[in-house]
Amino acid sequence: MAPALLLVSAALASFILAFSTGVEFVRFTSLRPLLGGISETGGPGELEGERINWIARQGWMDVLHDHSVLASLARNLGLLLLFVGQHSLMATETVKAWMSRYFGVLQRSLYVACTALALQVYYHVLGLGEPLALKSPRALRLFSHLRHPVCVELLTVLWVVPTMGTDRLLLALLLTLYLGLAHGLDQQDLRYLRTQLQRKLHLLSRPQEGEAE
């Protein structure tokens, strides 16, 4: 009974997290702060519905007459279609069958490489450069010492099994040793992590714009 309750709790927590993330995404992409000075944090009862609709229509009319905004929207739409098109086209059964016939087990690797190439086009068009170049030297130093969190999942898959054969044991031992030796955080890395945590806690504790003090 206890394991079942634990699974239900984990599933419910996962659903709440996914749902809240979607709600936050909708709030973040809301057009209301862009249309005629409507405050995003204001309540829905602050203005009558007719007033809100009128300001929204005026905002869209201004946007449609601004060539710089239209050019930016067209560029962003092109980048989005490039990414979505690459994902959708290479995910079709026809393309996957063709890639598997000519590239074999490298089919998935080629798919990931094309996805990375599409993202590189996005970064190049926006002038962002190499993503890691935007990170501070302290963050890059931490990345060189820190393994990806998915390694915990890998270790779980390797060790949490009903039976352990000799080959499986050897594989688990070698990969565990490799991950353990590669995880070499020092005091400088820990100070950097502590600084980042304190900065994020400080930002979260500040009242948001429009909230009462």
Residue, of 173 and 134, whose pLDDT is higher: 173
pLDDT at 187 > cutoff 60: yes
Q: What is the pTM of this model?
A: 0.44
pLDDT at 118 > cutoff 60: yes
3-state SS of the chain is: CHHHHHHHHHHHHHHHHHHHHHHHHHHHCCCHHHCCCCCCCCCCCCCCHHHHHHHHHHHHHHHHCCHHHHHHHHHHHHHHHHHHHHHHHHCCHHHHHHHHHHHHHHHHHHHHHHHHHHHHHHHHHCCCCCHHHHCCHHHHHHHHHCCCCHHHHHHHHHHCCCCCCHHHHHHHHHHHHHHHHHCCCCHHHHHHHHHHHHHHHHHHHCCCCCCCC
Q: What would the pLDDT profile of 129-152 be if each residue is shown by its tens digit?
A: 777 777 888 888 877 777 666 777
Q: What would the pLDDT profile of 43-58 be if each residue is shown by its tens digit?
A: 444 444 454 455 455 5
Residue, of 14 and 174, whose pLDDT is higher: 174
Q: What would the pLDDT profile of 74-106 be if each residue is shown by its tens digit?
A: 888 888 888 888 888 998 999 999 999 998 888
Mean pLDDT throughout 142-163? 79
Confidence grade of residue 1 (pLDDT, cut at 50, 70, 90): low
Q: What would the pLDDT profile of 9-39 be if each residue is shown by its tens digit?
A: 777 777 787 777 777 666 665 544 444 444 4
